[in-house]
Structure 1
Amino acid sequence: MTVRKLSISVPPEIEETIRAAAADEGKPVSTWLAEAAVEKAHIAALHAAGRAAAREMVAEYENEHGTLPEGSRQRAREFLMEAGLLDDEPWRAAG
């Protein structure tokens, strides 16, 4: 497998966390970081797919029943934020 070297900068407390986690798993820091990056990217892709599916579902609902009331949109947004599926980015339903 071909590998490429990267240089990253992290605060000392993050370095300690990374080194401890890698040691706990018996892995080199570079391996642990690469696996963490892949995991983070996979989770981000799943969240993006979930947000896209939610937008599509709202659009389908609105096409059939009319505009979703603002109160319902706000409750849905709060639920998604509490579930960790939505961060501070603006949320808009497709439509």
Structure 2
Amino acid sequence: MGVRKLSISVPSEVEETIKAAAAEEGKPVSTWLTEAAVEKARAATLYAAGRAAAQELVAEYESEHGKLPEEFRQRARAFLAEAGLFDDEPWQAAG
């Protein structure tokens, strides 16, 4: 696996958090950021797979029983948001 240099911009308070976390784990910042990026990519893949599976289940239900009532959709969204699995306002990357 080759190594490439990457330049990123982060707010100063995020820089402090990254450096502290890397130091706490006894890792260079670049290693810590690489591991964090891989973890985030894996989580995004799992999230997408879960979302696709949920959409498939809803489509299957609706094909057999008709449209899922809006009240049920709202309750499901509220449950997922409370569980930390649904976010109406995704995190925005720095500049």
TM-score by length of 1: 0.87
Question: 2 CA distance for matches of 1:45 and 1:36?
Answer: 14
1:16 equivalent in structure 2: 16
1:1-95 → structure 2 map (5 Å cutoff): 1-88=1-88
CA positional deviation for 1:74: 0.7
SS at match of 2:67: coil
Where does structure 2 lack aligned partners over 5 or more consecutive residues? Answer: 90-95
1:93 equivalent in structure 2: none
Where does structure 1 lack aligned partners over 5 or more consecutive residues? Answer: 90-95
* Identical-pair percentage: 79
CA positional deviation for 1:73: 0.8
- Segments ≥4 residues shifted beyond 3 Å: none
Report how many aligned residue pairs link the two structures.
89
Q: Which amino acid aligns with 2:82?
A: E
Q: CA RMSD in A?
A: 1.1
CA positional deviation for 1:82: 1.5
